[in-house]
Structure 1
Amino acid sequence: MKQKLKWIAFALLVLIATLGLEFWRHPLDFFFEFSKAEMLFAGAKSRFTVVDGYRVHYYALGPSDGPVVVLVHGLGGRAEDWEKLAPQLAMAGYRVYLPDLPGYGQSDKPTDFSYSVSDEAKIVLGFVDALGLKQVDLGGWSMGGWIVQLVAADHPERVRRLILFDSAGLYVKPDWATSLFTPGTAAELDKLDALLMPHPPHVPGFVARDILRTSRKHAWIVHRAMDSMLTGRDTTDKLLPSLKMPVLIVWGEVDQITPLSEGEKIHQLIRQSQWTVISGCGHLAPNECADKIGPVAVDFLKR
């Protein structure tokens, strides 16, 4: 019996050591799996559908008969980025869908796709069609906000209400180095974190190394999307005044990626919009400040 217990203890030590080594080598894989587990723990169902021939992953949570909300992530993001905000909407009675855009998360990453905001907008509309949804409340964060602006402008009959979180879309040249979205060094990663968050956490060296590895792997997608956005051909300055549906604009007060001035201009261009600034928050406000944003979003949707 003692010999058996020794072997069990040895096997456990080997397992722990193996997991520890794997975590040290690829910590992002563990973080991503933890995020997925959090989504499932919140009641989300992980599913796939096909849009324009591409396999698109999404989460669905909330009552199946509730009013529908679709939330679209930003550049380099994924559906799990909504893990803190989406459950609040689900708890308020909404059926929430969180798609991974092509190129991101668990969706296909086709080499023959442009990754422009206009083509991603077609995917979002196709996603709504694939799920048989006639009209939805539509929200988008950063690049996702730009995408949903295009959907709302081109297909206003499909969008009941629109929510823009720290949204891109205006014809504005960034005053920060766009190459930082695909950092190649630890120093560049620190600069990106400082842009995204007012108080970025310290990133251990082994974690930074894995982030950089993942960044290199998917850099071609981000480059293709960013190059398309920087042409200015899909900007929404002239489209926004035509929007008629209720619009909520939520902005992190200290956002450095899409500064507060951009949110104020969007608010001016959409006369019927509601403007909310979240103090102390940056570009990642929908995640880092979800406790402040959730009640505002629910109140807007329930009107």
Structure 2
Amino acid sequence: MLTGDAIVAGARLAYRYTPGDDTLVLLHGTPSHSFIWRNVIPDLEASGRGVLAYDLLGFGASERPVGRDTSVTAQAGLLGELLAQLGIERCTLVAHDIGGAIGQIFATRHPERVAKLMLIDSVSYDSWPSETWRRIIRDHLAEHAAMPQAEFERMLTGQLAMTVTEPMSAEVLDAYLAPHRTPLGRASFFEHQVRHYDSAPTERVAPLLRTLRMPVRILWGEDDRWQPLSYARRLAADIPGAELVTVPGAGHFLMEDRPRRVVEEIGQL
């Protein structure tokens, strides 16, 4: 297993990589980082498959460069460069939330590099951001970025509570909040994440989904409060041969609510 940092296009990405056959690349979403895969990675590694998980630029332990484009479109470009640097010519993408947008963009741009694709509770089409975040981004982003730390953590805690069907433990919640518990971390949340909550990239890629020919599985928590199941059905209808699997009693952070089920579904890719 290799852990550390890779310098990709002049930026530092924190990653964990276990080489093996048929490499699985795990793409997280927001507001999270690669920590979300912690209950999934060990079993995947034990199966003998290669596993790469990394923090997107501006997230988790990766660099948070001022003025750098960290949109899903830019992240798709960084994904390609990271794979090349690690010598991964072809992989299976397992992509959650905005990671799903990155996966859609990368798979339609470079289908020869994607053997299989799994989208887990993914943003798509015009499914994001919520109307509340649209208003904040449009009218109040500077105010929110300047809010006191305690108020910011209450807001983010409320957001995280909506991602699961069972409350997170204090330890798990702390791990999600940890990257944002400094002035830089709080500013980065708005600069590198919220500022790029924008459906334009997923609306642009939508017509290209019909061109995908690799096996595609769509995995969705039936109680997802952020990405309605109707979008999963739309993806399944638009991607040729895509299989839709829904998980009862699970929310948006499927890897928190049902990690064993996620491992089982990935194992069928």
Alignment of 1:9-158 (within 5 A): 44-61=1-18, 64-158=19-113
Taking structure 1 as reference, are residues 212 and 192 closer, same or farther at Cα in structure 2, changes over 3 Å only?
A: farther
- Paired residues in the alignment total 253
1:45 offset after TM fit, Å?
A: 3.6
Provide the C-alpha distance between the structure 1 equivalents of 2:253 and 2:115, rounded to a whole number of angstroms: 25
SS at match of 2:261: helix
Asked if 1:191 is matched to 2:158, the reply is yes
Provide the C-alpha distance between the structure 2 equivalents of 1:254 and 1:105, rounded to a whole number of angstroms: 26
TM-score (norm 2): 0.83
Provide the C-alpha distance between the structure 2 equivalents of 1:126 and 1:233, rounded to a whole number of angstroms: 19
Indicate if the aligned counterparts of 1:60 and 1:95 stay in contact, CA closer than 8 A.
yes
1:221 offset after TM fit, Å?
A: 3.2
Provide the C-alpha distance between the structure 2 equivalents of 1:239 and 1:290, rounded to a whole number of angstroms: 31
Asked if 1:274 is matched to 2:237, the reply is no
TM-score (norm 1): 0.75
Taking structure 1 as reference, are residues 261 and 48 closer, same or farther at Cα in structure 2, changes over 3 Å only?
A: same
Indicate if the aligned counterparts of 2:161 and 2:168 stay in contact, CA closer than 8 A.
no
Q: Which stretch shows the higher mean deviation, 187-196 or 252-261? A: 187-196
Taking structure 1 as reference, are residues 92 and 176 closer, same or farther at Cα in structure 2, changes over 3 Å only?
A: farther
Q: Which residue of 1 aligns with 2:140?
A: none
Unaligned runs of 5+ in 1: 1-43
Provide the C-alpha distance between the structure 1 equivalents of 2:31 and 2:130, rounded to a whole number of angstroms: 19
Taking structure 1 as reference, are residues 212 and 50 closer, same or farther at Cα in structure 2, changes over 3 Å only?
A: closer
Q: Which residue of 1 aligns with 2:185?
A: 218
**Sequence identity of aligned pairs in percent?**
25
Decide which of 241, 251, 254 is 2:210's aligned counterpart. 241
1:153 offset after TM fit, Å?
A: 0.6
RMSD over equivalenced CA pairs, Å: 2.8
SS at match of 1:220: helix
Unaligned runs of 5+ in 2: 138-143
1:227 offset after TM fit, Å?
A: 3.1
1:218 offset after TM fit, Å?
A: 2.6
Decide which of 118, 121, 124 is 1:166's aligned counterpart. 121
Q: Which stretch shows the higher mean deviation, 83-92 or 251-260? A: 83-92
Q: Which residue of 2 aligns with 1:262?
A: 231
Cα deviation, 1:32-51, whole Å, max 9, x if unaligned, reads xxxxxxxxxxxx54222111
Asked if 1:251 is matched to 2:206, the reply is no
Taking structure 1 as reference, are residues 201 and 59 closer, same or farther at Cα in structure 2, changes over 3 Å only?
A: closer
Q: Which residue of 1 aligns with 2:263?
A: 294
Provide the C-alpha distance between the structure 2 equivalents of 1:215 and 1:46, rounded to a whole number of angstroms: 24
